[in-house]
């Protein structure tokens, strides 16, 4: 058995420096509209998540809420490991718990460069150099097939989708 893991970058947010605390930067109106359009398209593709985890930052929580409102998954749960600079090692125990509970499709809403680095670790077993780094655009999605047990270096990429392909 394996889990489909969807790494989703938050939508377009307010410019850096416009809020005293970067954690409080919300999605812009364009960000909300585009994220809602992406969520609608994912719903049309019959994509659903058994678990929806989000970074504690406002822009990620707002993105996760839009995904939930589009009937893509349950009420989002905040996961501190998904905040910027989070460590995949801190999150892997949650993956194991989800797999043990029969969660076959898990969505993580977070930030760059963390999400693409995590994906590369899960697929290749190590971080890539800057020249080889995957880039996940705002609102983009990486889909991985993650085996039960040793996930690092044993997962398979099945989807790397920029937002423009869903709009």
Backbone torsion region of residue 85, taken as left when φ is above 0, otherwise alpha when ψ lies between -120 and 50, otherwise beta: left
Size (the chain), residues: 167
| pLDDT given for residue 151 in this prediction | 92
| pLDDT given for residue 166 in this prediction | 94
- 141-147 and 2-9 as β-strands: parallel, antiparallel, unpaired? antiparallel
HSE (side-chain half, CA atoms, 13 Å) at 86: 24
| pLDDT given for residue 129 in this prediction | 60
The whole-angstrom separation of Cα 167 and Cα 165 is 6
**pTM value?**
0.94
| pLDDT given for residue 126 in this prediction | 75
Q: Are 136 and 117 in contact (CB under 8 A)?
A: no
| pLDDT given for residue 130 in this prediction | 59
- Which of these CATH numbers, 3.40.50.1240, 1.20.1630.10, 3.90.25.10, 3.40.50.720, describes 2-165? 3.40.50.1240
Q: Where are the domains positioned within the chain?
A: 2-165
Q: Mean pLDDT, consecutive 10-residue segments, the chain of 167 residues?
A: 93 92 95 98 97 98 98 97 93 86 92 94 79 88 94 95 93
Q: Are 72 and 37 in contact (CB under 8 A)?
A: no
């Amino acid at each position: 058995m394996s889990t489909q893991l969807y790494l989703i970058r938050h939508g377009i947010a307010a410019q850096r420096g416009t809020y005293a605390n970067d954690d409080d930067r919300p999605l812009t109106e364009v960000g909300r509209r585009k994220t809602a359009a992406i969520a609608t398209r994912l719903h049309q593709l019959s994509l659903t998540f058994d678990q929806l985890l989000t970074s504690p930052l406002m822009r990620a929580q707002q993105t996760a809420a839009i995904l939930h409102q589009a009937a893509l998954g349950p009420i989002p749960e905040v996961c501190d490991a998904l905040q910027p600079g989070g460590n995949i090692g801190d999150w892997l125990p949650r993956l194991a718990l989800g797999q043990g509970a029969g969660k076959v499709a898990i969505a993580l809403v977070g930030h760059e460069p963390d999400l693409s680095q995590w994906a590369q670790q899960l697929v290749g077993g190590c971080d890539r150099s800057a020249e080889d780094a995957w880039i996940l655009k705002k609102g983009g999605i990486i889909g991985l097939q993650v085996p039960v047990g040793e996930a690092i270096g044993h997962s398979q990429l099945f989807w790397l989708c920029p937002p423009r392909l869903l709009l």
